[in-house]
Amino acid sequence: MFRKFAAALLASASILCATIDPAAAQSAPPVRMASNMGGGFIEFLFGEAPQGGRYQQPMYQQQPDVGFDGRRLPPMGPQGMYGHEAVEPAQRSVDPRYNKQVVEYHGKEGAGTIVIDTPNKFLYLVQGDGKALRYGVGVGRPGFTWAGVKTISAKKEWPAWTPPPEMLARRPDLPRHMEGGPDNPLGARAMYLGTSLYRIHGSNEPWTIGTNVSSGCIRMRNEDVIDLYGRVGVGTKVVVI
């Protein structure tokens, strides 16, 4: 009985092969051939086999994407990048109004004073004669904004970063210390404000300028913070409104 069934099956396979278009056959992907035509042959033809069969389809399990801290990352974007990195660079460009420019200034602060307009995300370096240099900045997230008068107490180029205990309590995944460099979140320059934990500093995320993004620090594009750094000294008055 088995011989008759096998002969009929092979005959059907021969008829099927005879009806295939030769041109289509040339473009078709190669067919996996069974190494043994024994008990697993039927399962081979239909692509499935029990655990003990001679042919078994490979199984793939999609693994979740995780970051360096072990947390699941957001879905990968169309450019093969995560989160905001999936956005095209043109879409991440800074609004031109946040470019450095000379503007009119009619406030009460004297020349050489830094004035930070938190709601509008601007930093002014007062020039006198009714003018000021204006830069775009990133400011604190909701709940992390502040106002007051400080002075620049220290200046550092390519500063190292040690997250304070308060920040580590909120973000235990952060590194305990990071040396200065292009990947450092403090960017190319930092100007420390009094004895507080706040700084005016650069950023390795320039597309965040003009947003509420920080834990209270004032961030600038690296080229802008380098420019400001060269114009002000320790002791400069900083008014945050």
- Which amino acids are annotated catalytic? 201, 217
Cα dihedral 32, 33, 36, 37, rounded to 10, equals 110
Listing DSSP states for 187-239 in one string gives -SEEEEETTSS-EEE--S-GGGTTSEEESS-EE--HHHHHHHHTT--TT-EEE
For 89, the 3-state DSSP assignment is: helix
Residues 6+ apart with CB under 8 A from 212: 138, 139, 140, 141, 142, 145
- Tokens 């420390």, located at residue: 192
Joined together, the tokens standing for residue 169 give 């309590």
- Tokens 């100007």, located at residue: 191
Beta strand ranges found along the chain (DSSP E): 101-104, 114-117, 122-128, 131-136, 139-140, 148-157, 189-193, 199-201, 212-214, 218-219, 237-240
Residue pair 103/120 in contact by the 8 Å Cβ criterion: no
